């Protein structure tokens, strides 16, 4: 029976040992993740040696950023799939589909950088339009596979219910964040106007809202500082895949003994709702053509309401738990040992 890499104590944490563990568990995703680490080294040299600029950014910056993102996503998925038992065919389907789709995506991104052109939204020629269609299809495959992982985790019986919900909600919130990318593929008002006036539509879709892609942006990430940018919400939402399970681990391992499973589960739900709220807020902000670094009063007011709701809900859960007389074994973090994280016959924690 598989167990999560982080579900129990890790005696050996040398990177090569962890890599061997990942390879034994999931070869396709480990291969693509490792390949991205190698690619990152190569693109770093490209950033140093190649002076070309594409859409206002160094030619090899996008491949480098995507290499980091794909590596993190791949190895996170290796870990998450260790919590899915009894469905080996579906796990293999998710693994192979995700790895192949990401490989196709990265090959096309690197090829575009090497030839000095854009990869995303480029429909300037029939060839470029076909490449963009293939890339879009590949990302749809990754998104559907992510949703399937969420469904599998929802059906999986896990021993620690609070930690289980941190996994499930992390995947589902990340699917919402990934879904923001679909908004980027819609033609902008300027592109539609150009098409109506008889001009050539060389690009369809954009990261930015209200301004052209490639303008002034934040260092490294490139998020627009003069207009809306859907990449903000996309980035935040995607990394719920790591943030919420990490929160579940931290609450379980280091939370006070008087927090019962129901309390920890409530905290996870509040954090997940707040996280999803931030994804929604930054999406809304971007769609109004507003930069992340220049929020208006409406955005700040919505943020204040969201933060207040999260803090009040958290305080209410903690106050209720603290007032409750301590019972036996309020329980710590995710269970350890050979059956970490699982329940196969309705077995529950003592405090559940």
The pLDDT, as a whole number, for residue 344 is: 36
DSSP per-residue codes, 5-61:
TTSS--S---HHHHHHHHHHH-HHHHHHHHHHHHHHHHHHHHHHH---EETTEETTH
* C-alpha to C-alpha distance for 228 and 211, rounded to whole angstroms: 8
Is the pLDDT higher at 183 or at 8?
183
Q: Decide the pairing of beta strands 208-209 and 53-54.
A: unpaired
Please determine, for residue 284, whether its predicted confidence score (pLDDT) is greater than 80: yes
Q: What is the value of pTM for the model shown? A: 0.87
How many C-beta atoms surround the C-beta of residue 78 within 10 A? 21
User: Phi/psi of residue 208, each to 5°?
Assistant: -90, 155
Q: Break the chain into its structural domains and give their ranges.
A: 14-157, 163-333
Instruction: Give dist(CA 188, CA 184) in Å, integer.
Output: 9
Q: Is the pLDDT of residue 331 over 50?
A: no
Banded pLDDT at 345 (limits 50, 70, 90) = very low
Q: What is the pLDDT of residue 18?
A: 87
Q: How far apart are the first and last CA of the chain?
A: 23
Q: What is the mean pLDDT of residues 175-194?
A: 91
- In the chain, which ranges are E strands? 53-54, 57-58, 208-209, 228-229
Fold of 14-157: 1.20.120
At 88 the pLDDT is: 94
User: 47 burial class (0-12, 13-18, 19+ CB within 10 angstroms)?
Assistant: middle
Averaged pLDDT, 304-319: 97
Question: 54 forms bridges with which residues in the sheet?
Answer: 57
- Lowest average pLDDT, out of 10-24, 167-181, 236-250, 268-282, goes to 10-24
């Amino acid at each position: 029976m598989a167990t999560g890499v982080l579900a129990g104590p890790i005696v050996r944490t040398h990177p090569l040992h962890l890599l061997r563990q990942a390879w034994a568990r999931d070869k396709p995703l480990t291969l693509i993740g490792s390949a991205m680490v190698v690619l990152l080294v190569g693109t770093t040299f490209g950033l140093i040696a190649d002076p070309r600029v594409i859409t206002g950014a160094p030619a090899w910056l996008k491949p480098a950023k995507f290499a980091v993102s794909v590596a993190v996503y791949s190895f996170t998925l290796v870990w998450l799939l260790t919590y899915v038992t009894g469905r080996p065919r579906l796990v293999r389907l998710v693994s192979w589909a995700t790895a192949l789709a990401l490989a196709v995506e990265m090959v096309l991104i690197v090829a575009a950088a090497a030839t000095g052109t854009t990869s995303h939204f480029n429909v300037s020629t029939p060839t470029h339009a076909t490449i963009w269609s293939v890339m879009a299809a590949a990302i749809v495959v990754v998104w559907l596979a992510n949703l399937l992982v969420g469904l599998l985790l929802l059906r999986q019986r896990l021993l620690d219910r609070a930690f289980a919900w941190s996994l499930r909600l992390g995947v589902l919130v990340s699917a919402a964040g990934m879904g923001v990318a679909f908004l980027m593929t819609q033609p902008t008002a300027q592109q539609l106007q150009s098409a109506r006036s008889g001009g050539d539509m060389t690009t369809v879709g954009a990261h930015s809202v209200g301004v052209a892609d490639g303008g002034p942006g934040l260092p490294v990430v490139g998020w627009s500082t003069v207009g809306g940018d859907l990449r903000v919400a996309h980035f935040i939402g995607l990394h719920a895949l790591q943030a919420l399970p990490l929160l579940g681990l931290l609450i379980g391992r280091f939370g006070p003994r008087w927090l019962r499973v129901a309390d920890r589960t409530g905290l996870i739900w509040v954090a997940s709702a707040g996280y999803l709220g931030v994804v929604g807020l930054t999406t809304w902000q971007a769609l109004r053509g507003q930069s992340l670094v220049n929020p208006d009063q409406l955005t700040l007011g919505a943020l204040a309401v969201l933060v207040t709701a999260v803090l009040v809900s958290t305080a209410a859960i903690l106050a209720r738990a603290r007032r409750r007389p301590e019972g036996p074994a309020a329980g710590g973090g995710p269970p350890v040992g050979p059956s970490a994280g699982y329940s196969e016959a309705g077995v529950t924690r003592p405090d559940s």
